[in-house]
Amino acid sequence: MIRIVIYFLFSASILHAYDMKHLLRPEYIPAPKNNPITKEKVELGKLLFFDPRLSRDDTISCATCHIPYFYWTDGKSKAIGIKGRKGTRNTPTIINGAYQSLFFWDGRANSLEEQALGPVEAKAEMDLPADEMVEKLKGIKGYAKLFENAFPGVGLTKETVAAAIATFERTVVSKESPFDRWVKGDQDAISDEAKEGFEIFRNEGKCKSCHSGFNFTNDSLNNIALGDDDIGAYVINKNPIWKGSFKTPTLRNVAKTSPYFHDGSVHTLEEAVYICGNGGRYKDLKGRSPFFRDRGLGMEEVRKVVRFLETLTETRPMVEPPEEFPK
């Protein structure tokens, strides 16, 4: 009898591990063929990411808004850039960008390389045209050497600035969370409520039809009926079905990255999950994604889903800012 019980428990845990393997981050970090990851590029990219001299008046770096301690967000509803200029959208995390294929809330960039100079040039962010940025960086001797080492024979160009930043960003990946320890078989790593929440997330809630895989996103663009006037993915595709569609964000560390949604309009995870489990803010909104239906989640179920989402928090990212910058 004991043998049978042991056998049953053993095979159940193997089944659990097999069924759930796709929910663990692959160790391998993918990178484009023309921009492989090297130590030199990662180190240079990190300096550039934290260096406020990439902005017009030396006040704003990428890390001003993507703050490591805030899980690479800024805690604000909408981003605030150079000279206090207010942006129109919420700052997303940069975590696990290596595994994604769409960037910005409206999906208008297809790679981290393509994304990287956008914020440098944006008037409400760093406000420095890319050509001026290159000239400015060329005036800093220390950078010339680092670029030559990272990109032998090419040196400092717009493209290599983007390539270095993108390479650093690729190394910003999610580390093990309690959820991952549970997936690996540690039954005590998360609470029973969190386990129930995960079942609701997978089944009744149908959340995984968009928030799938280890990064809890399938990179799809969807209109979830928030009902503001941001046109979203319509900028890249003038078909009306894309109006108000936004990128499905990762849910890794989501308990730590409020406010939520592209407009930063929701401050608690409970409310965000409630909206997602009940067909959006305006259920009758024309244009709502056909995959986004009213799943009728009550407050009790919402609470359990939140308990599950909290298990996706890793210990605080400990990427320390560089101690000094090239002179």
User: What is the contact surface with ligand HEC in residues (CB under 6 A)?
Assistant: 49, 54, 60, 62, 64-66, 79, 81, 87, 89, 91-92, 94, 97, 103-106, 112, 115-116, 119-120, 125-126, 165, 169, 201, 205-207, 209-211, 222, 224, 226, 246-249, 254, 257, 260-262, 272-273, 276-277, 289, 291-292, 295, 305
Task: Pick between residue 13 and residue 237 the one whose CB is nearest to ligand HEC.
Answer: 237
* 59 vs 144: CA distance, rounded Å: 22
> Which residue is listed with tokens 């600035």?
161
Give the pair of three-digit tokens for residue 266. 């929701």
Q: How far apart are the first and last CA of the chain?
A: 73
**Shortest Cβ 267–ligand HEC spacing (Å):** 11
Q: Are 210 and 222 a contacting pair, CB within 8 Å?
A: yes
**Shortest Cβ 288–ligand HEC spacing (Å):** 9
Phi then psi for 278, rounded to 5 degrees? -135, 30
Q: Are 273 and 206 a contacting pair, CB within 8 Å?
A: no
**Shortest Cβ 129–ligand HEC spacing (Å):** 13
Task: Pick between residue 13 and residue 68 the one whose CB is nearest to ligand HEC.
Answer: 68
* 129 vs 118: CA distance, rounded Å: 9
**Shortest Cβ 61–ligand HEC spacing (Å):** 7
Task: Pick between residue 31 and residue 184 the one whose CB is nearest to ligand HEC.
Answer: 31
Give the pair of three-digit tokens for residue 119. 């914020």
Task: Pick between residue 62 and residue 194 the one whose CB is nearest to ligand HEC.
Answer: 62
Task: Pick between residue 44 and residue 120 the one whose CB is nearest to ligand HEC.
Answer: 120
Query: Minimal CA–CA distance to 81: which of 71, 70, 89, 93?
Result: 89
